[in-house]
């Protein structure tokens, strides 16, 4: 929970940068070097916002819990398999 505030600040900063920059980026001149840079910059800012929102929404926590459930199920299967093999050898 302590680190979440940093991600909130990062989202706000990236949004502010995007809101300031978008009106200044002109796409009327065709696909030139300057316009290409502007497009790449906007895409990068959107990626930064998306990554921080991903963390803030707790998607990583859900994924981690799902992976933990899968890991426990596999361990239980392996344990059953080992117990079965030990029963045959005795």
- What are the tens digits of pLDDT across the range 68-86? 899 999 999 999 998 888 8
**pLDDT digit string, tens, across residues 32-65:** 888 888 888 999 999 999 999 888 887 777 777 8
32 and 63 in a common domain: no
Q: Domain check: are 41 and 23 in the same one?
A: yes
The answer to whether 55 and 76 have CB atoms below 8 angstroms apart is: no
- Into how many domains does the chain fold? 2
Do both 53 and 66 map to the same domain? no
Supply the pTM of this predicted model.
Answer: 0.61
The whole domain housing 27 covers 1-57
> Same structural domain for residues 37 and 76?
no
- HSE-CB for 35 with a 13 A CA cutoff: 7
């Amino acid at each position: 929970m302590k680190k979440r505030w940093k991600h909130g600040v990062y989202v706000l900063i990236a949004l502010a940068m995007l809101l300031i920059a978008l009106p200044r980026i002109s796409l009327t001149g065709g696909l030139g070097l300057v316009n290409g840079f502007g497009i790449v910059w906007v895409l990068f800012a959107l990626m930064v916002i998306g990554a921080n929102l991903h963390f803030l929404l707790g998607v990583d926590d859900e994924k981690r819990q799902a992976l933990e459930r899968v890991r426990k199920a596999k361990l239980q299967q392996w344990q059953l398999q080992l117990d079965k093999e030990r029963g045959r050898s005795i």
